[in-house]
Amino acid sequence: MPAPFRFTLEATDPVTGARAGRFETPRGTILTPTFMPVGTQATVKSLTPDDLHGLGAQVILANTYHLHLRPGEDLIERLGGLHRFMRWDGPILTDSGGFQVFSLAHLRKVTEEGVAFRSHIDGSARLLTPEVATRIQERLGADIAMAFDHCVDLPATYEKTRDAMERTHRWLDRCLTAHARPDQALFPIVQGGTFDDLRIESAEAIRRIDAPGYAIGGVSVGETKEDARRIVALVAPRLPADRPRYLMGVGSPEDLANGVAGGVDLFDCVLPTRIARNGTVLTDAGRITLTRGALRDVDGPIEGDCDCYTCQNFTVAYLHHLFKAEELLGHRLATIHNLRYMARLGARMRQAILAGTYGTWRDQFLAGYRVADEAVAQAQRDRRVAAWQAARPGLDARTAARKAVALAGDGDGLGHD
């Protein structure tokens, strides 16, 4: 593995293949498996860097597309780089922006050169190429950068999916040629949609590259959970065992439990922070909506065994009141709990792997975890699509759906925060 990055595989569960490892980076060691909070605009909404350290975050995400548009990599570089700009001293991973530009169907055109698009902020014409995306991430100073890829939305034909996959591979070569920072890890991304043979072909192609880590992309764009699990089972074992594996855009607790069993080490998603701002918190029994009338006078924490600041200091009744009164403190306290829950979940999975009992732990966890109602999630998605169409008369339903997913985020954790 290219210095100064090193991944040490500490244990593999004998039943499931789940892995526990240590990923050493210039700004600290990441213990895996772990969930990475998303801070698209150089901030995890409502939290300070001290909050993030306190709740156990090891690495956070920021987004190339959004930071390029505002405030711009020129300013961030001039002010000392992304770490100094946002005052986060741990590792940072930046998405390449590929997922965002894929979403702008009515504003972009994909060619072999790259993606020409118009800013969703001011309508200005922009061109994002593999070289530009790589250069932006280098100037931001991220510890882990993602290769610029071509993501397709579903449903997609076999021909369209193969074309995007092959372009992703060609763009990867250009990213590697452009990449010049030895203190930054560049992760290639496996694509191939829901087609097994394309996924296998893509995994085999990128594993030949001596990269510090590898990502599985295109699994949070509308496919079923069954498809996502199948893709992970196909791809993860074909990636180098001595490098970290990153499943992009996946963050429901049940999906982490299954993804780790599939051999994945790193996860990210806006789900925990987005649902927190909507008054929903995570527990081992499933999600709890704090605005429910039955919680109005509950004189106890969200979870009795949770050590987060919120559970240690506030009752469910108080949180219910904050959300009913539309007080911003409610957003912050729910976000703290949800991200601490995800950090504790990663630590518990790691402990079970090291003990050789992950298969049993996962089965017990999933047996007690109530999965979110997909019908409710779909209704939430439909409301966001309708809101986009109402705000932009004439926007077709397909484009509105893609836009709502990528820029506002999906109820199942898609998009960015």
Active site residues: 95, 268
Task: Tally helices (H) and strands (E) across the chain.
Answer: 17, 17
> What region does 224 belong to: left with phi over 0, alpha with psi -120 to 50, or beta?
beta
Per DSSP, the three-state class of 96 is: coil
Q: What is the dihedral of CA 289, 292, 294, 295, to 10 degrees?
A: 60
List the end-to-end C-alpha distance of the chain, in Å, as a whole number: 32
Alpha-carbon span 37 to 268, nearest angstrom: 6
CB-based contacts of 89: which residues, under 8 Å, 6+ apart? 27, 49, 83
Radius of gyration of the chain (CA): 20
Strand partners, 126: 117
Residue 409: count of CB within 10 angstroms of its CB:
23
Name the E strands within 77-180: 92-95, 108-110, 115-118, 125-128, 144-146
The HSE-up count of residue 161 (CA atoms within 13 Å, CB side) is 22
Residue type, 32: T
Contact 191, 205 (CB under 8 A): no
Alpha-carbon span 183 to 160, nearest angstrom: 36
CB burial class (10 A; 0-12, 13-18, 19+) of residue 74? exposed
Q: Which of 414, 165, 407, 126 is nearest to 268 (CA)?
A: 414
Q: What is the dihedral of CA 139, 140, 144, 147, to 10 degrees?
A: -60
**For residue 155, is the peptide bond before it cis, meaning its omega torsion is within 30 degrees of 0?**
yes
The sign one gets for the Cα dihedral 231, 269, 123, 402 is positive
